[in-house]
Chains A and B, each alone.
Chain A
Amino acid sequence: MSVAVNASSQASDESTKRGWGDTCLEAKGVTMQFGGLKALSEFNLSLEPGELVGLIGPNGAGKTTAFNAITGVYAPTSGDVNICGQRVNGLRPHQISGRGIARTFQNIRLFKELTALDNVKVACHAGRKAGFVASFFQSKGYLDDEARITKRSMGFLEVMGLDRFRDERAKNLPYGEQRRLEIARALATGPKVLCLDEPAAGMNGAEKVALMELIRKLRDEFKLAILVIEHDMKLVMGISERLVVLDHGVTIARGKPELVRKNPKVIEAYLGDSYLEEQHIAIPAHSSESLLPAEPPSTESVNEVQP
């Protein structure tokens, strides 16, 4: 049961573009090598504002590694990462954050002892105008900064429905609220690209549905490109306009959710080859060429639209 995806997926991928702006994230041939382990291999991704892309794969596939590579936690062993047209390889995470990318973490990394409001305020820090010394002297510029930061942070708390928790220490918040707080915090950095690492982990069905709605709403309201790592197939299939599938660091499939879910290589990665045998699914001989749509070659220039 071979699946011909070339032409149709190319056409359908193009339809996810909204024309809201230029490519805001471009990863080209990003590879992460840790000693003998190649955690990520030739990772390619291109995002335009307004796109909702899912990054999936079995555990240990390299999804969080990809996040870390594009947000500067790791410097890519090879390959390029460009944010809004600027190369960010080797920059420190706080510098990359300033270029327009924000993320949440797989295991929630909130500032536990700080209040919800303070958590979000920290993310507004980069936009401050007054320096260290000005805070000692309580200059007008400093006071304006503080007022602006408070107002802005409250705004994001309201968007995420957390304003009633503003003075509650983050560690005291219920789990679902903590996840939403992390998103509010990430939003407060004013990104163009938002990377969510398993945002629905630990949520029940109703909460997941609400989350899906929220993500779409955030995309529309803030004109973001959103990249989501998720294990819940229903959620990620429901929300993503297109998918990238990783396994052992290698991209094994990409394209529209309906097509990717039927892809034998994807099924094998998740369920094992014994499942394939049971279901009498065979992987075509030259699978890598016919199943994957055309890869964006690494020699392409930054602004070209990718399939």
Chain B
Amino acid sequence: MDLPKIILRSAAPLLIGIPLLWIFQGAVGGPGGSETAMAVILMMAGINVILAVSLNVVNGFTGQFSIGHAGFMAVGAYTAAKITVATNSLEIVGIPTSVSDQLIFLFAMVAGMVMAALMGLLVGMPSLRLRGDYLAIVTLGFNEIIRVLIENTEFLGQATGISGLPKRTNIVWVGVAVIVTIAMAKRLLGSTHGRALLAIREDEVAAEAMGVDTTGYKVRAFVISSAFAGLAGALLVHQIQLCTPRSFTFIKSIEVVVMVVLGGMGSVTGSVVAALVLSFALEGLRDVQQYRMVMYSVLLIALMLTRPTGIFGTREIWDMIPKLRKKVSS
């Protein structure tokens, strides 16, 4: 196993991306007062991209129907929040606070992902043998149960939540997370495991007959998807500096479902584009807040009636531009 080569190959996007993000952050403003409104919108858009792409792994690649994504967001968010709040005044000997803060945040995010993944395993294992519409109901049910449990648990701040979170989220972190998420999805899609998921979506009986452990793979998809939802949750609460159950209701789950459907289930490109479009559109509609949900629902219905496959269907941008494809397949 040629370790240096593997690290180089797999981390290439990050090695290129991080310096670029750093420069970009300088341009639009980093945290600590100089953050512009544009930067805030971009970060929220980035978080939505992570949510949409991760949900696409289950709904789009594997063809299952999960509508409880916000529940896993909450698990990641609360885990990370608890860690950063508990360690807020902690200092690691020999390391300046600015660095240790970032390290702790990184640890908190990873911990959030792990907890969310575990929750995904817990929810997924019994549920994934259920038929489509039943799975939808169960995921919705678990979303609500997680929320209700949080609201009734003192340790988690109940309905008021946890406040005073340190502001750790910035353009670089969001950018890194987005890169990792998209890389994950793309690599999964191009691998034999990704093909197994697609096969399950296309025809579960045939997939099983060809040697694919359908239940095992559905659970895997669910776990991966939940982990990244947890990441998004952790990033979200460290941006708004507040961790309440109100951020993780069924409405949030549906917003993510709309993004995935709008972009095209099974298309990573579609999820990214739809997430960006909807994030910016929502910003633009901020003035007409009351009409926002009504327009959302009309959009949803119109979309389903006219173009249920979404903007991109199951196509990816790298399939549509053959020249790019050669470059991207590395």
Verify if A185 is at the interface (C-beta below 8 Å from B).
yes
Asked whether, in the complex, the Cβ of A94 is within 8 Å of the Cβ of B211, the reply is yes
Asked whether, in the complex, the Cβ of A114 is within 8 Å of the Cβ of B188, the reply is no
Verify if A137 is at the interface (C-beta below 8 Å from B).
yes
Residues facing B in A108-125 (CB within 8 A) are 109-114, 118, 121-125
Which of B1, B203, B211 contacts A126, CB < 8 Å?
B211
Verify if A138 is at the interface (C-beta below 8 Å from B).
yes
Verify if B9 is at the interface (C-beta below 8 Å from A).
yes
Asked whether, in the complex, the Cβ of B213 is within 8 Å of the Cβ of A94, the reply is yes
Which of B183, B187, B195, B208 contacts A92, CB < 8 Å?
B208
Verify if B207 is at the interface (C-beta below 8 Å from A).
yes
Asked whether, in the complex, the Cβ of B203 is within 8 Å of the Cβ of A111, the reply is yes
Verify if B109 is at the interface (C-beta below 8 Å from A).
no
Known: A109-B206, A146-B191. A138 touches B211 (CB 8 A): no
Asked whether, in the complex, the Cβ of A110 is within 8 Å of the Cβ of B206, the reply is yes
Bound-complex Cα distance A97 to B213 (A): 10
Which of B6, B192, B198, B208 contacts A128, CB < 8 Å?
B192
Which of A98, A105, A135 contacts B206, CB < 8 Å?
A105
Verify if B314 is at the interface (C-beta below 8 Å from A).
yes
Contacts of B199 in A (CB 8 A): 111, 114, 122, 125
Verify if A194 is at the interface (C-beta below 8 Å from B).
no
Asked whether, in the complex, the Cβ of A114 is within 8 Å of the Cβ of B193, the reply is no
Residues facing B in A140-186 (CB within 8 A) are 140-142, 145-146, 149, 185-186
Query: Which residue on B lies nearest to A182, using beta carbons?
Result: B206
Which of A92, A111, A142, A145 contacts B202, CB < 8 Å?
A111
Asked whether, in the complex, the Cβ of A111 is within 8 Å of the Cβ of B211, the reply is no
Contacts of A123 in B (CB 8 A): 210-211
Which of A109, A136, A139 contacts B188, CB < 8 Å?
A136
Contact with A along B167-210 (1 / 0, CB 8 A): 00000000000000001100110011111101100110111111
Which of B191, B192, B194, B198 contacts A124, CB < 8 Å?
B192
Contacts of B188 in A (CB 8 A): 135-136
Query: Which residue on A lies nearest to B224, using beta carbons?
Result: A132
Which of B1, B192, B207, B211 contacts A139, CB < 8 Å?
B1
Verify if A73 is at the interface (C-beta below 8 Å from B).
yes
Bound-complex Cα distance A9 to B86 (A): 83
Contacts of B297 in A (CB 8 A): none
Asked whether, in the complex, the Cβ of A125 is within 8 Å of the Cβ of B195, the reply is yes
Closest Cβ–Cβ distance, residue B11 to chain A (whole Å): 9
Residues facing A in B4-37 (CB within 8 A) are 5-6, 9-10
Closest Cβ–Cβ distance, residue B58 to chain A (whole Å): 15
Asked whether, in the complex, the Cβ of A121 is within 8 Å of the Cβ of B192, the reply is yes
Asked whether, in the complex, the Cβ of B193 is within 8 Å of the Cβ of A122, the reply is no
Interface SS of A by simple majority: helix
Verify if B133 is at the interface (C-beta below 8 Å from A).
no
Closest Cβ–Cβ distance, residue A69 to chain B (whole Å): 13
Verify if B220 is at the interface (C-beta below 8 Å from A).
yes
Tell me how many residues of A have a C-beta within 8 Å of chain B.
40
Bound-complex Cα distance A149 to B195 (A): 12
Asked whether, in the complex, the Cβ of B210 is within 8 Å of the Cβ of A125, the reply is yes
Closest Cβ–Cβ distance, residue A196 to chain B (whole Å): 13
Which of A113, A114, A118, A138 contacts B10, CB < 8 Å?
A138
Bound-complex Cα distance A112 to B199 (A): 9
Asked whether, in the complex, the Cβ of B209 is within 8 Å of the Cβ of A97, the reply is yes
Bound-complex Cα distance A53 to B94 (A): 77
Verify if A71 is at the interface (C-beta below 8 Å from B).
yes
- Chain B CB within 10 Å — which of A71, A97, A112 has the most? A97
Bound-complex Cα distance A114 to B203 (A): 11
Which of B5, B6, B202 contacts A114, CB < 8 Å?
B202
Verify if B214 is at the interface (C-beta below 8 Å from A).
yes
Which of A93, A110, A139 contacts B6, CB < 8 Å?
A139
Bound-complex Cα distance A287 to B70 (A): 68
Verify if A103 is at the interface (C-beta below 8 Å from B).
yes
Contacts of A105 in B (CB 8 A): 205-206, 209
Verify if A41 is at the interface (C-beta below 8 Å from B).
no
Query: Which residue on B lies nearest to A105, using beta carbons?
Result: B206
Asked whether, in the complex, the Cβ of B211 is within 8 Å of the Cβ of A98, the reply is yes
Residues facing B in A180-231 (CB within 8 A) are 185-186, 188-189
Closest Cβ–Cβ distance, residue B51 to chain A (whole Å): 19
Asked whether, in the complex, the Cβ of A122 is within 8 Å of the Cβ of B203, the reply is no
Known: A114-B198, A125-B195. A138 touches B9 (CB 8 A): yes
Contacts of B210 in A (CB 8 A): 94, 97, 102, 122-123, 125-126, 185-186, 188-189
Verify if B287 is at the interface (C-beta below 8 Å from A).
no
Asked whether, in the complex, the Cβ of A109 is within 8 Å of the Cβ of B212, the reply is no
Query: Which residue on A lies nearest to B216, using beta carbons?
Result: A94
Closest Cβ–Cβ distance, residue B37 to chain A (whole Å): 35
Contact with B along A81-108 (1 / 0, CB 8 A): 0000000000011100110001101000
Known: A94-B208, A105-B206, A146-B191. 17 other contacts (CB 8 A): A73-B205, A73-B209, A94-B214, A98-B211, A110-B203, A114-B195, A114-B202, A122-B195, A122-B199, A125-B199, A125-B211, A126-B210, A135-B194, A138-B6, A138-B9, A140-B5, A145-B192
Q: List 18 A-B contacts (CB under 8 A).
A: A92-B208, A105-B205, A109-B203, A113-B202, A114-B202, A125-B196, A125-B199, A125-B211, A125-B212, A132-B193, A132-B220, A135-B188, A136-B187, A136-B188, A138-B10, A139-B1, A140-B5, A145-B192
